[in-house]
Amino acid sequence: MQTGCIPCLVKNIPCDPRNPQCKRVMSDDWNINFRPQKDEHPSLDHPTPESLSLTAYRPDMKWRRNWRERHSLNFFVNFSAPQMAGFFDSSFWQRMVIQNSFHEPAILHAVTAIGALHEAIMQRAFAEEKRKAQALAFALDQCNKAISQLTGGRRAAGYMTVSDTRLALITCVLFTCFEAMQGRCDSAVNHALQGRRLLQATARPEALAISGSELDDIEQMRPLVERLEVQATALLDKGKRPEVDALDRVSPLPPIEFVFSLDHAHNALHLALNSIMRFMQGFQPISPKDQISLIMAEKYMRYSPWFQQWEAAFTSYLADNKHWMTNMDFKRAMVLKANHLVGTMLASVDQSAGPVAYDPYEAEFKAIVDLSREVLATFSCPPLPTLNGGSTGTPYLSFSLWVTDPL
């Protein structure tokens, strides 16, 4: 197939053999090493939502011609991303990561590494040792390539298509999950804590050149990064935990007068659980009793009314919409109720009681177990998912460190 001259096509000028930059070729490879000049496409130096659209810029397609990389990328899109999102829609896993990977090789290599590692984990009981070693080596190689893209290559030459702040946060979450999937909690914790520091830096927009669209994306990532940081901090000894900013720890809870959808209920509950778990991590059992009593009273007065209001709004939503809800919707509602029970216990428990603090909540724990059993009984996890078969939607993975997720 005659492709003509790609540089001339990009410049929208006719091919001319007398032009030293004109390279007429006969090839099926449309990827010619052509880099537009800065004055030709200023949108690449100052990216906008339009310049980052899927039709405005084409990534290096030659990279995708490696069948193993393409297969792992497809595995991530079809299995890893939906399963990391869990029972609810996730703009991060199902839109933001995939969309930005189209423009940024570092993200593309990182998600390919996760897809390869996820598939290797699922095949662990079936594959021979040599194949398992090759799969793990490929995943690590992709992770190293992602790191190389962040520290050198086009970025060292000043050629960027995704803003540094957004790129750093996305890759921070991806590296956290990649390390946690291997059971390397120390490395995962470090990445998660770094994500929190990046969020704190974005709280000062006057010090950083952050566009409105970028700030929106960062705010969408905030609950996810905060949950990772909360769970990472829970894995650390109290002596190693970073200092907690009191103002940040008591950030305003989302309004919940009405529930408009299950996803809305989930997002609000997610923010509240992040807040209360972060609040509880600042508790010191060796503090004076009077101070402990004040902290427990503050926690109860701040969070308990919110969880009661959420339950009332959620109950009203179910009463109005139960006739149109599918079986999957009812399962998602059970997941929400289990999470709500966790939040209710956290809001009212007196941590100063020590090991017996949760003894009065035996009924709540039993309800959580019953809800979990009912939800998980519906899903039969196939031993080995394939790209040819239909996805069951079962969340094999979690975007967290598997510490505080009720299911």
Q: How confident is the model at residue 12 (pLDDT cuts 50, 70, 90)?
A: low
- Domain-ending residue, one of 180, 210, 242: 242
Tabulate helix, strand, coil % of the chain (nearest 5): 60, 0, 35
What would the two tokens of residue 11 be?
A: 């410049």
230 inside domain: yes
- What is the distance between the alpha carbons of residues 335 and 318, in angstroms, rounded to a whole number? 14
For the CA atoms of the chain, what is the radius of gyration? Answer: 24
156 inside domain: yes
**CA angle, corner 352, sides to 347 and 356, nearest 5?**
85
Identify the three-state secondary structure at position 14: coil
Question: Do residues 90 and 77 touch, judged by C-beta distance below 8 A?
Answer: no
Mark whether 349 and 218 lie in a shared domain.
Answer: no
Mark whether 273 and 166 lie in a shared domain.
Answer: no
Q: How many domains does the chain have?
A: 2
Of the candidates 199, 161, 197, which has an alpha carbon nearest to the alpha carbon of residue 49?
161
Give percent above pLDDT 70 in the chain. Answer: 68
Of the candidates 116, 30, 34, 28, which has an alpha carbon nearest to the alpha carbon of residue 80?
116
- Domain-ending residue, one of 214, 242, 270: 242
Question: Do residues 274 and 223 touch, judged by C-beta distance below 8 A?
Answer: yes
- Tens digits of per-residue pLDDT, 29-72? 434 444 444 444 444 444 555 444 444 444 444 555 578 888 88
Mark whether 107 and 190 lie in a shared domain.
Answer: yes
Which residue(s) pair with 26 in the sheet?
A: 2
- What is the distance between the alpha carbons of residues 407 and 404, in angstroms, rounded to a whole number? 9
- What is the distance between the alpha carbons of residues 122 and 132, in angstroms, rounded to a whole number? 10
Mark whether 167 and 270 lie in a shared domain.
Answer: no
Mark whether 234 and 265 lie in a shared domain.
Answer: no
User: How high is the pLDDT of residue 318?
Assistant: 93
- What is the distance between the alpha carbons of residues 250 and 257, in angstroms, rounded to a whole number? 20
Mark whether 147 and 101 lie in a shared domain.
Answer: yes
236 inside domain: yes
391 inside domain: no
> Across the chain, how many H-helices and E-strands are there?
15, 2
Where is average pLDDT lowest: 137-151, 176-190, 214-228, 258-272? 214-228
145 inside domain: yes
The mean per-residue pLDDT over the stretch 247-260 comes to 76
Mark whether 203 and 310 lie in a shared domain.
Answer: no
CATH number of the domain where residue 80 is located: 1.10.3450
- Domain-ending residue, one of 193, 209, 242: 242
Q: What is the mean pLDDT of the chain?
A: 74
For residue 299, with 0-12 CB atoms within 10 Å meaning exposed, 13-18 middle and 19 or more buried, which class applies?
buried
Model confidence at 102: pLDDT above 80: yes
400 inside domain: no
> Could you tell me the residue range of the domain that residue 192 belongs to?
67-242
Mark whether 102 and 222 lie in a shared domain.
Answer: yes
**CA angle, corner 399, sides to 193 and 304, nearest 5?**
80
Question: Do residues 339 and 273 touch, judged by C-beta distance below 8 A?
Answer: yes
- Tens digits of per-residue pLDDT, 177-192? 888 888 787 788 888 8
322 inside domain: yes
204 inside domain: yes
- Tens digits of per-residue pLDDT, 133-166? 888 889 999 999 998 888 875 555 444 444 677 8
